[in-house]
Amino acid sequence: MPSRADDLPEDLEQMAALVRELRAENAQLRSLLKGIAQQAFGNRSERASVILGDQGQLDLGDLVSTPTVAANDDEAPEDKPVIKRPRAKRGIMALPAHLERVEQVIDPQTLDCPCCAGRLHKIGEDASEALDWVPAIVRVIRTVRPRYACRNCREGVIQAPAPRRAIPGSMVTTSTLAWMATARFAWSIPLNRQLQMLAGQGAILDRALPSRWMRKIAWWLRSLYELQLAYIHAQSRIFCDETRMPVLEKGRKRTRITQFWAHACDDGPWSGPARPAVAYIHARGRGHAEARQQLAGYRGILQVDGYGAYKTLVRKGAEGVVLVFCLAHVRRKFVDAYRKSPSPVAAAIIGLIGEVYAIEARVRAGNAADRLAARQAETCKVMATIKTQINDMLPRLSPKSDLAKAMRYTLNHWKGLTLFLEDGRIEVDTNTVERGMRNVAQGRKSSLFAGSEEGARTWAVLASLLQTARLNGLDPYTWLNDVLERIVNEEVMINDLHSLLAWNWRPATDRLEALVA
């Protein structure tokens, strides 16, 4: 390309070609700059109402046959009747009934009548409730074990055995360990912040201790973690995804990027047998070798994004594995293309994908047969329209444009994207496992990195169990504290560990009631 005015071509046709080339390059750079600005400062939502605004309701001619619907899976379809729910009343109805009530009675300063000075009597009352927070109590458990001896015998000394602890000889109880693990791996509070919180209570601990404690807890729970992973792999349909995990290299002042792989299952959307569960696996890479090692022996439906390692896994002989791809990733590519260069074609496809999600929202929580019937009757037509529009418009677009890339991605994955039209058990996207990745992303943001590969493996074990407890509607601390106590005290043997899995676990009170009954 000419760099000086003297190098400009004199021929008119060459000059025109140069101008066209510069215009194309300028448009490409502007599109790239707009995309970068959107990623840095723009709205992250993929909903059509946010992306398209009022343009989502414009007449697009024959590009789309029906009005566009918000392209997300949590928006209700426009034609769905609005259910008016009564507003929650403030006071007694707004707060959980199981919480302790502390009654505070406030009487007037005087009970004498201001008119006649007679004694007032109670004719009623007004009551209100407010949620109160009592800070955690940090205390020391002093265990005393008296020794007893017989005055008449030399060998008659007896003493009660010391209670078992998760870490023998340590200065913390099991409940403290459970609290620290839950705060770190369920609520993403780094260990150093927890130490600062304890220091505020006057308990100053060495910075190296909590990491060792977490490794010991992971050692106690590793068999339960492996049982949970085996449960996931025993399902006929699972989800997989991966995300980066920086690890601090030993002896060096920099991190190395490793990976957390997530394997998940959940048949709740179609009332199937598989309970919600997720298991994280730490690995050094995210290539085909890691995928093959983790999924060795698996037979069934594997729902993933378009990452090449999964395709290579199937191409290189993983028998019995059927790949299903994610419609949300397709939507994301069209959304990115629209944000960089708004076009009615991208708007139409985003709207059609929104129709698919509207249908899915309507049949969610039904059985697999009902979902399949609705998909065959309605979704098939929408997906066929998407493919027709892509086939019609793709030859007219520049191959280097983002919209063309999104269209080629869709066509290249079309078979895996449409398998949900043939099986009511299959979801339209991989949001099941991506929701599980949020916990890892939050922890990574607050902690920046894992201190070592062993620390990353500890992270994977504890985060898997605690996140699964959350997915099953349990309080993670209550579950972990009880599970640790029962494992450490040998109340549960290795052949009965399945009773401690989040969906099988029962609180102590429920177990006692069952025994009495």
The pLDDT, as a whole number, for residue 222 is: 96
Compute the residue count for the chain: 517
Q: What is the pLDDT of residues 139-164, one digit of tens each?
A: 898 999 999 888 888 777 888 988 88
The pLDDT, as a whole number, for residue 98 is: 81
Q: Which two tokens stand for residue 426?
A: 């299959």
Quote the mean pLDDT of the chain.
85
Q: What is the pLDDT of residues 392-439, one digit of tens each?
A: 999 999 888 999 999 999 999 999 999 999 999 999 999 999 988 988
The pLDDT, as a whole number, for residue 76 is: 42
CA R_g for the chain: 31
The pLDDT, as a whole number, for residue 97 is: 83
- SS3 for 362-398 is HHCCCCHHHHHHHHHHHHHHHHHHHHHHHHHHHHHCC
Residue 302 CB neighbours (<10 A): 23
| Predicted TM-score (pTM) of this structure | 0.79
The pLDDT, as a whole number, for residue 352 is: 95
Residue 28 CB neighbours (<10 A): 16
Please give the Cα distance from 235 to 43 (Å, whole number). Answer: 37
Cα distances (angstroms) measured from residue 209 to each of 177, 196, 487 = 11, 14, 22
Q: What is the pLDDT of residues 215-249, one digit of tens each?
A: 999 999 999 999 999 999 999 999 999 999 999 98
Q: Which two tokens stand for residue 213?
A: 């404690």
Note whether 186 and 217 are within 8 A (CB). Answer: no
Note whether 257 and 250 are within 8 A (CB). Answer: no
The pLDDT, as a whole number, for residue 220 is: 96
Residues in the chain with pLDDT < 70? 1-7, 34-35, 37-94, 509-517
